[in-house]
Amino acid sequence: MARWTTAILLAVGVATLASSGCRKDSPGPARWQWHPGGLAEALAAARTEGRLALVEVGASWCPTCHALERDVFDRNAGRLPTASLVAGRVDFDTPEGQSVARRYRVLGLPTTLILDPDGTVRGRIEGYDDVDSYATAVADAVRGGSATSDPKARAAAAPDDPAVAAAAGADLIARGDEAEGIRLLERARALDPEDRIGAWRDATRVLGRFQARAKGDPAAALPFFQEGAARAADPRARWGFAYWTAMMLHASGRPEQAARYLDALQSDAPGRPEPLAVRAEFLWMTGGDAATGLALAREAARLAPTDDGNQWLVAVLAVKAGDRSEARQAIDRALAITPGEAIYEDFRDRLAGTP
């Protein structure tokens, strides 16, 4: 899923799709052992057992979450210090997930938190790249934290580098230094006003996600996403920002305005698959009319048949519309375009278990 739909699902700038080609699977538990319950239960077990808690915050629609689950927890659990950890999951889309996102300033998915039994953050991993780097990061946190550089020091060493400012600002927000993090993110935007190197885009995404997720304030997030839809240099990023603009309008209690905004996207780009896919994705994620969403996804797939993300939208909306046969055909097409994509394989396997 490497086209514009990835920008929608992962528009935080820190999470990347994992490569599916893991090295030889390591010995150890065949699967990761998840503790029943969420954050509170994992911390309680950690206190009782004298261990740390590993809490993964993810979502069913997140491609990288599926890759992490498959590559690490299913196939390479033995690479992790399992004896030192109690593992818990938090679904971002639940009330608990929203609470955890605000408490720990979760900006992108998946976010893995390594916590002391009292809930203090010992380490965190934003996104997922590969088994080696993930296992190393977990082990570093268990040992007492990695020796990563101080984001303030990085920014001070390169005061005119917008990419450094954007990355350091995101790190500081995650660590709880919101004021300095926001200052650096705005500094990155000022240093890259035309978005020539993508720093403006990345900083704008983080500022929007910070307001939407960490603060739970879609109205405050909205201007950042609107600005991104208008100004981001990368067309794929603009469509991702457009999707989040519609989502923030909906979340802030303005569904009619969201509908008008989506209408305008289609009117301004006739014959393009992107506005159709944006609206289909919006209907899927907001629980809108599945038949309408499916028709839009079908047309987007017709206009861009080699975009696996469009085939994915057909599949998920076909299930919602009650057509599992069409869903199976669409997910097979998505996998033919992008073999080994974990979220597609999981979806196909779930369909195989249903009539």
In a shared domain, residues 192 and 287: no
pLDDT band for 22, please (50, 70, 90 cuts).
very low
| Position 136 in a domain | yes
In a shared domain, residues 193 and 67: no
| Position 52 in a domain | yes
| Position 247 in a domain | no
Structure tokens at 42: 């994992």
| Position 22 in a domain | yes
- CA 76 to CA 289: how far, in whole Å? 40
**What separation in angstroms does the CA of 240 have from each of 204, 234, 276, 281?**
12, 10, 13, 11
Q: State which of 102, 126, 143 marks the end of a domain.
A: 143
Question: Domain of 315: which CATH number?
Answer: 1.25.40.10
| Position 213 in a domain | yes
| pLDDT surpassing 70 at residue 316 | yes
| Position 93 in a domain | yes
In a shared domain, residues 133 and 39: yes
In a shared domain, residues 130 and 159: no
Q: Are 248 and 242 in contact (CB under 8 A)?
A: no
In a shared domain, residues 59 and 134: yes
In a shared domain, residues 169 and 261: no
In a shared domain, residues 265 and 284: yes
| Position 237 in a domain | no
Question: Domain of 53: which CATH number?
Answer: 3.40.30.10
Q: State which of 198, 232, 266 marks the end of a domain.
A: 232
Least confident of 28-32, 112-116, 217-221, 315-319: 28-32
Q: Which string of DSSP letters, residue by residue, matches 116-144?
A: -TTS-EEEEEES---HHHHHHHHHHHHHT
How many other CB atoms sit within 10 Å of the CB of residue 355? Answer: 4
Facing residues of 57 across strands? 90, 111
Taking only the tens place, the pLDDT of each residue in 61-118 is 999 999 999 999 999 999 999 999 999 999 999 999 999 999 999 999 999 999 999 9
Taking only the tens place, the pLDDT of each residue in 286-303 is 999 999 999 999 999 999
Taking only the tens place, the pLDDT of each residue in 156-191 is 999 999 999 999 999 999 999 999 999 999 999 999
In a shared domain, residues 94 and 9: yes
Supply the range of the domain harboring residue 111. 4-143
Structure tokens at 282: 């919006």
Beta strands per DSSP E along 1-67: 52-58
The enclosing H or E element of 155 equals helix 151-157
In a shared domain, residues 116 and 159: no
In a shared domain, residues 117 and 134: yes
In a shared domain, residues 69 and 103: yes
In a shared domain, residues 21 and 129: yes
| Position 89 in a domain | yes
Q: State which of 122, 143, 164 marks the end of a domain.
A: 143
Nearest to 236, CA basis, from 335, 166, 307: 307
Residue 243 burial class via C-beta count within 10 angstroms: exposed 0-12, middle 13-18, buried 19 and up: buried
Mean pLDDT within 222-250? 98
Structural domain count of the chain: 3
Structure tokens at 288: 């809108």
What pLDDT is attached to residue 148? 58
Q: Are 258 and 250 in contact (CB under 8 A)?
A: yes
The pTM score is 0.88
pLDDT band for 146, please (50, 70, 90 cuts).
low
